[in-house]
Structure 1
Amino acid sequence: MDKQNLTGTLVLVQPDLELNPDMKKGMIGVLTYARSETENYVRFPGAGEAFYPAGQVMMLKDKQQVFEDLTHNGSSMPLDDFKAMYKIMLLQDRGTSQALYAALAIANDNPGIQEKVLESISPEQKRELANSYGR
């Protein structure tokens, strides 16, 4: 697997959190520090910073994965879900921070596609991030 530095990645706090002491569920922020499985710092525009376990911090899946899911399963999904996934894929292709922010916002607004377009920041990626800092 390629070493991927997650610092600076736009992320979404899991929209369906049961315990939400910071009241930031469903908010989009920037991952500032991926420290461990239980401590990942996210900065929110105008709303400070908070930390979350890795499973509660979601990022967009690779656009190729979204494309393949649309190609293989698009005909069997509801039209609104297909449109939302297609928009996300197009925004990811654009690659700007504004486009990625918009893609995360679409994912947040469409619970039916969240599992298809979002993934938690993985422990393996965080370990590789820690190794890159150790060099």
Structure 2
Amino acid sequence: MEDLTGTLVLVHPELTTDPAKRQGQIGMITSADLNNNVIRVGFGNTPVALYATEALLVLRPHNDLYRDLLTDVKQMEVQDFKTLLRVSMLLENGSPNQLKEALEMVIANKQTLEYGTVSLQDKMALVMEKEIEVQQQVGIGR
């Protein structure tokens, strides 16, 4: 599993219980205890807040977002398509400032948020599936 420290995340804007009151805000993972599903997120000069992986959103991988944009272009509002295409371009380069800008862009409305992000929990599940596939392929090749 990849190290999550330094990953930019968005606290889900519709999170119903958030003692830190950070719904819809962007922060950075400072540490993760995956065994206990506790992610520590920093928001600048304020104390870190604790979240479960399903409460945090991350940007979808560039290739997945771009592929789905081209497939679903006719079902999208023109402005949402343009926003998500710009997000995809920012993801391709991937500097920290560009990733933050991309997260800020997807917050614009519900469709761009749903289309441009995935929960940290879902992303970790996908990463684990890919790692298992690679391990199986390596094992088969022996």
TM-score of the pair, normalised by structure 1: 0.83
Q: Which residue in 2 is equivalent to 1:25?
A: 23
Deviates further, 119-128 or 14-23 = 119-128
**CA shift at 1:123, angstroms?**
7.0
Report sequence identity in percent: 28
Q: 1:9 to 1:68 in 2, by over 3 A?
A: same
Q: In 2, Cα distance between the equivalents of 1:119 and 1:8?
A: 17
Give a deviation string over 1:110-132, Cα, whole Å, max 9, x none: 2212222111112783897xxxx
Moved over 4 A (4+): none
Q: In 1, Cα distance between the equivalents of 2:66 and 2:9?
A: 20
Q: In 2, Cα distance between the equivalents of 1:6 and 1:57?
A: 12
Q: 1:53 to 1:112 in 2, by over 3 A?
A: same
Q: Which has the higher contact order (CA 8 A, sep 6+)?
A: 1
SS in 2 for 1:31: strand
TM-score of the pair, normalised by structure 2: 0.80
Number of aligned positions between the proteins: 126
Q: In 1, Cα distance between the equivalents of 2:116 and 2:46?
A: 25
Q: 1:82 to 1:123 in 2, by over 3 A?
A: closer
SS in 1 for 2:5: coil
Q: Over the residues paired in the alignment, what is the CA RMSD in angstroms?
A: 2.1
